[in-house]
Amino acid sequence: MEGRIGPGLEVSMITLIVIGVIVVVLLFIIVGAYNRLVALSQKADQSFADIDVQLTQRRDLIPNLVETVKGYAGHERQTLDSVTQARAAAAGATSVQDKVHSENMLTAALGRLFAVAEAYPDLKANTNFLELQREISDIENKLAAARRFFNNAIAEFNAARQQFPTVAVAGLFGFGSNREFFDVGEGDRAAMNAAPPSVKF
């Protein structure tokens, strides 16, 4: 009969349609997984940028703090120098790991500086010192919140990267490894505990 498709051709067309549907579904899965990883990576980057803003604001206050303390406790040279050096190291850090380490060292140095200030009643009563102390304390609180948000974003990204089908896509598009948390390591924790890092009296 004319116009009739043979059984072999029918099977071939059905096979092609099935293959086409499978390819389209796979593309949707790959695109969806890729877009999810990109969105989570952007969220983590934005969270880290928020931390960076707070860290920069804290570093900007330190020269005034050092100068104020120097006016009352100039002979505490070693403590003042350690704060200045820690600030310079923190400003030069680029990777997350380097920033974590250098900022923890800066926090420890600030803790020692505020501990020294305890011995100088006139310094503790200085209006400029009190205002700087209040601002740094406020930034520390914002930093704690920003770190929590960043670490949550990193945990979400790392978990998504290891789940199926995203894990199959991650390596293909440069998402092959976990991202690092903004966390205090054992060495940094020991340095920070050498003196109370709190800026509250």
Note the pTM of the prediction, 2 decimals. Answer: 0.76
Q: What residues in the chain have per-residue pLDDT under 70?
A: 1-8, 184-201
Coil, strand or helix: which one is 185?
coil
CA separation for the pair 131, 79 (Å, rounded): 20
What does the DSSP assignment read for 91-123?
Answer: HH--SHHHHHHHHHHHHHHHHHHHHHHTT-HHH
Q: What residue ranges do the domains of the chain occupy? A: 1-39, 47-192
Q: How far apart are CA 26 and CA 192, in angstroms?
A: 50
Q: What is the pLDDT of residues 8-18, one digit of tens each?
A: 678 788 999 99
pLDDT per residue over 183-197, tens digit each?
Answer: 754 444 444 444 433
- DSSP 8-state symbol, 195: S
- Predicted confidence at residue 148, as pLDDT, reads 94
Whether the upstream peptide bond of residue 197 has omega within 30° of 0, thus cis, is: no
Question: Whole-angstrom Cα distance, residue 67 to residue 141?
Answer: 24
Q: Kindly report, residue by residue over 113-142, the tens digit of the pLDDT.
A: 999 888 899 998 899 999 999 999 999 999
CATH class of 47-192: mainly alpha
What is the enclosing helix (H) or strand (E) of 144?
Answer: helix 127-162
Nearest to 128 by CA among 61, 55, 195, 196: 61
The per-residue pLDDT for 3 is 52
